[in-house]
Amino acid sequence: MAKITVLFLLLAVIQASLALKCKVCADNDGSCSTLKDETCPAGGSDREAACLIHIYKDAATKKEMTEKKCVNRFKNTGKYDCIEIPNNQQVKCYTCVEDFCNEKNSATKFGVVGLVSLVLSILVSKLL
């Protein structure tokens, strides 16, 4: 019985470590100068958790505003539709699915997972 409990505890730890982590704007002034970490909730059966970067230009002040948060996008297309704010000009709206990939204002295509995969594949090919 203790082995089953340990197994479930281990699975819970693994699941928590696999959850997507994103940066979220801690200030509400649109500058997004202060970020905090957030673990994203899992999406429904047809959705997946993703980190969002939404940059738009305020119509009145002409100042770029930034929104960063967790969202759920469609799994099959990777699509998420940013909510357009009336009278504002949308500059960028994209999602990514690596931990803290929305920390900067540009998404990296390669990411940490790609880099780790590349290093592991080189090491394995050298060992075999």
Task: Tell me how far apart the alpha carbons of residues 91 and 84 are, in angstroms, rounded to a whole number.
Answer: 11
Q: Measure CA of the first residue to CA of the last residue in the chain; give whole Å.
A: 40
> pLDDT per residue over 69-126, tens digit each?
999 999 888 888 888 878 888 889 999 999 999 998 754 444 444 445 545 556 656 6
* Integer angstrom CA distances of residue 26 from 6, 33, 69, 95: 37, 8, 10, 19
Domain ranges of the chain: 20-127
Which residues in 38-49 are b (16+ Cβ under 10 Å) and which e? bebeebeeeebb
Instruction: Give pTM, 2 decimals.
Output: 0.66
User: Backbone phi, then psi, for 63, in 5-degree steps?
Assistant: -95, 140
pLDDT tens by residue, 44-80: 889 999 999 999 998 888 899 999 999 999 988 888 8
Instruction: Calculate mean pLDDT across residues 1-16.
Output: 47
Cα dihedral value 6, 11, 13, 17, nearest 10: 160
> How far is 126 from 128, CA to CA, in rounded Å?
6
CATH of 20-127, one of 2.40.40.20, 3.40.50.720, 2.10.60.10, 3.30.470.20: 2.10.60.10
**In terms of DSSP H, where are the helices of the chain?**
2-18, 111-127
